[in-house]
Amino acid sequence: MNETMLKFTDIDGKMPDKRHAQKRAQDFGEIYGDYPSAQTKQQASRCSQCGVPFCQSGCPLQNNIPDWLMLSAQGRTREAYMVSAATNSMPEICGRICPQDRLCEGSCVIEQSGHGTVSIGAVERTLSDTAWEQGWVEPIKPQREHTLSVGIIGAGPAGLAAAEALREQGWQVTIYDRHDRAGGLLIYGIPNFKLDKKIVARRIAHLEQGGVKFKLNTDIGTDLSFEDVRKQHQAVLMATGVYKARALALPGCGAGGVIEALPYLINANRRELGDKVEASTAHGKHVVVIGGGDTAMDCVRTAVREKAKSVTCLYRRDEGNMPGSARETKNAKEEGVQFKWLSAPQSLHDKDGHVTRLRATRMRLGLKEVSRRQSVSPIKNSSFDIKADMVIQALGFTPENMHTLCPDLRLTRFDTIKAHPVRFSTNIDGVFAAGDIVRGASLVVWAIREGRDAAAAIDSYLSAQMAALAAA
Ligand SMILES: Cc1cc2nc3c(=O)[nH]c(=O)nc-3n(C[C@H](O)[C@H](O)[C@H](O)COP(=O)(O)OP(=O)(O)OC[C@H]3O[C@@H](n4cnc5c(N)ncnc54)[C@H](O)[C@@H]3O)c2cc1C
Ligand code: SF4
């Protein structure tokens, strides 16, 4: 063990500087910066270089974290980046938006021993940003070009990660997406203050330069049929994400001002991208967001930046049971969001057809459910009212009906695509699936992992096809 490491007893853990809450709430700029170079080394040197690295097991990509932390601590930044990029198609994105407290950092041994985790995500982000600035991100240069091609439906992180891996192997890749920009939820879901859109655009440009073709504004099922895509390519990857919003079924929820989370976030993201869209929709309003996941946190913080009069998050369980990242909840609190824990919506009330008030009921926690969160039940006669002239429903997403796209596709009882757990093949020969449409609404890092795994399986599938063609 070299002397650079194991400094966790001498050096306190520190996140990169965060912009002051009042200042950052005025704009949509990212709230964290990168570490200065000396601090990256210091923070990386806190790693205890465990023989069995639990951080690596906690990372869905099984990133070789102790190695790149050691290289960073030694100032071997380029090598550190190469090791981190070997297992991650978008380290600069994961470093920003992974809920590290639930993944790598939550599993860090020095966190468990009470010394505070190594800031793995922040080091990963700083390393990758440096690599882009220094021109160390290698262009995609396949050693040989093949004629066989892959059609990928969906330009979210699963589709993009698969595209890169497949191009590296020399397969021809076309990505179809119904939106006018590639990136999926990276571009139109997650707000700019968590992930600057320039970071996503840079990745897409990198793929384009590497020969990936994008066919945007192309809805498969409307503009082009699934069968057309199959005819044009020898393999197809479905990476369409999940987009059917879970809706409230409450008295009064048809009133004006009661909206869904994703269109609200898309509007805000488009505005930041310079598109001509509706002006700040929450401006001057009392906004109530229902839900406790990442989407709810993104809505409350967007409403703060749109200068809402008040922003309240209503969640039926308590803070410890929230599914979203604890770090993002803390950020929202700092920015002035009010949280009403253990409160479930009961009814919505309007004046002249527009919502004015939400009635909620207090809840009590019960036993743990299969999901490991505690069950809840309403407390009798505990109703209370909240002023609300905009109510945003952020209750999660389920898959759209995939049978409208392809009636033969086998689905699970959750309506996700049934895919092989390792090969990501479906019941249809040559058709693979990855990302949220297989796993259900999840995380970017899981979409990347599955996109990479599916690409490896498609590579084997196409190689076998090529060998068969050569033998024929
Ligand atoms: C608001 C919000 C915030 C989130 N925040 C975080 C976060 O902070 N950290 C994190 O790790 N995860 C977060 N997530 C989850 C994360 O974004 C998803 O898990 C991830 O994007 C899934 O990737 P994907 O490639 O499977 O699907 P998506 O990113 O959803 O991409 C699917 C793509 O397929 C396209 N598509 C769908 N159907 C068709 C069709 N028929 N024809 C053509 N194109 C089609 C869509 O337009 C889309 O571009 C968040 C999700 C939301 C909604
Ligand atoms: S990809 Fe995500 S979980 Fe893995 S090391 Fe990076 S920040 Fe942690």
* Residue 451 exposure: Cα atoms within 13 Å on the Cβ side: 32
Q: How many C-beta neighbours within 10 Å does residue 278 have?
A: 10
CA 140/CA 146 separation, integer angstroms? 15
What confidence tens digit (pLDDT) does each residue in 299-315 have?
999 999 999 999 999 99
Proximal ligand: closest to the CA of 91: 2
Pocket test for ligand 1, best of 100, 180, 190 (most atoms within 8 A of CB): 190
Any ligand 1 atom below 6 A from CB of 302:
no
Does residue 42 sit within a domain?
yes
Any ligand 2 atom below 6 A from CB of 443:
no
Asked whether residue 43 carries a pLDDT value surpassing 80, the answer given is yes
Any ligand 2 atom below 6 A from CB of 119:
no
Same domain, residue pair 107 and 235 = no
**Could you write out the DSSP letters of every residue in 58-92?**
HSTT---HHHHHHHHHTT-HHHHHHHHHHH-S-HH
Same domain, residue pair 384 and 262 = yes
For residue 65, the one-letter residue type is I
Same domain, residue pair 405 and 334 = no
* Beta-carbon contacts of residue 200 (< 8 Å; ≥ 6 apart): 93, 183, 186, 187
What confidence tens digit (pLDDT) does each residue in 244-296 have?
999 888 999 999 999 999 999 999 999 999 998 877 689 999 999 999 999 99
CA 430/CA 226 separation, integer angstroms? 13
The ligand 1 atom nearest the CA atom of 451: 25
CA 374/CA 424 separation, integer angstroms? 32
What confidence tens digit (pLDDT) does each residue in 57-67 have?
999 999 999 99
CA 151/CA 128 separation, integer angstroms? 29
DSSP label at residue 348: E
Asked whether residue 417 carries a pLDDT value surpassing 60, the answer given is yes
**156 near 129, Cβ under 8 Å?**
no
CA–centroid distance, 67 to ligand 1, in Å, is 30
Tell me which of 397, 422, 446 is where a domain ends. Answer: 397
Q: What is the 3-class SS of 190-216, one letter each residue?
A: CCCCCCCHHHHHHHHHHHHHCCCEEEC
Protein residue whose Cα sits closest to atom 4 of ligand 2: 59
Task: Provide the CATH number for the domain around residue 54.
Answer: 1.10.1060.10
Kindly state the tokens that stand for 227. Answer: 């069968």
CA 229/CA 217 separation, integer angstroms? 15
The ligand 1 atom nearest the CA atom of 179: 47
Any ligand 1 atom below 6 A from CB of 328:
no
Distance spanning both ends of the chain, measured CA to CA: 56
- Alpha carbon separation from 407 to 401, 402, 403, 416, 427 (Å, rounded): 10, 7, 4, 13, 12
CA 183/CA 160 separation, integer angstroms? 8
pLDDT, position 234? 97
Any ligand 1 atom below 6 A from CB of 194:
yes
The ligand 2 atom nearest the CA atom of 121: 7
* Inter-helix orientation angle 157-168/444-471, to 10°: 40
Handedness of CA 374, 380, 384, 385 (dihedral sign): positive
**Could you write out the DSSP letters of every residue in 41-56?**
HHHHTT----SS-HHH
Same domain, residue pair 225 and 197 = yes
Map residue 329 onto helix, strand or coil: helix
CA–centroid distance, 55 to ligand 2, in Å, is 9
Tell me which of 348, 374, 397 is where a domain ends. Answer: 397
Find the mean pLDDT for residues 339-363.
96
Any ligand 2 atom below 6 A from CB of 59:
yes
Any ligand 2 atom below 6 A from CB of 53:
no
What confidence tens digit (pLDDT) does each residue in 179-207 have?
999 999 999 999 999 999 999 999 999 99
69 pLDDT tier (thresholds 50, 70, 90): very high
Same domain, residue pair 18 and 126 = yes
Task: Provide the CATH number for the domain around residue 361.
Answer: 3.50.50.60
The ligand 1 atom nearest the CA atom of 405: 41
Does residue 92 sit within a domain?
yes
**104 near 120, Cβ under 8 Å?**
yes
Does residue 140 sit within a domain?
no
Does residue 183 sit within a domain?
yes
Does residue 451 sit within a domain?
yes
Does residue 143 sit within a domain?
no
Proximal ligand: closest to the CA of 88: 2
What confidence tens digit (pLDDT) does each residue in 356-403 have?
999 999 999 988 776 667 888 999 999 999 999 999 999 999 999 999
Find the mean pLDDT for residues 403-432.
96
113 pLDDT tier (thresholds 50, 70, 90): confident
Pocket test for ligand 2, best of 88, 90, 92 (most atoms within 8 A of CB): 88
Same domain, residue pair 62 and 196 = no
Any ligand 2 atom below 6 A from CB of 445:
yes
pLDDT, position 2? 64
Any ligand 1 atom below 6 A from CB of 190:
yes
Same domain, residue pair 70 and 122 = yes
pLDDT, position 427? 98
Q: Give the Cα-Cα-Cα angle 458, 460, 462 (nearest 5 degrees).
A: 65
Residue among 66, 82, 63 nearest 128 (CA): 82
pLDDT, position 170? 98
Same domain, residue pair 277 and 392 = yes
Find the mean pLDDT for residues 325-349.
95
CA–centroid distance, 10 to ligand 1, in Å, is 41
The ligand 1 atom nearest the CA atom of 185: 29
- Alpha carbon separation from 238 to 177, 184, 451 (Å, rounded): 11, 13, 10
Same domain, residue pair 303 and 266 = yes
Any ligand 2 atom below 6 A from CB of 94:
yes
Q: How many domains does the chain have?
A: 3
Any ligand 1 atom below 6 A from CB of 442:
yes
CA–centroid distance, 37 to ligand 2, in Å, is 20
CA 153/CA 157 separation, integer angstroms? 12
Map residue 241 onto helix, strand or coil: coil
Same domain, residue pair 381 and 359 = yes
* Residue 71 exposure: Cα atoms within 13 Å on the Cβ side: 16
Q: What percent of the chain has pLDDT over 70?
A: 99
Range of the domain at 115: 7-134
96 pLDDT tier (thresholds 50, 70, 90): very high
Which residues face 377 on adjacent strands? Answer: 364
How many Å is the Cα radius of gyration of the chain? 23
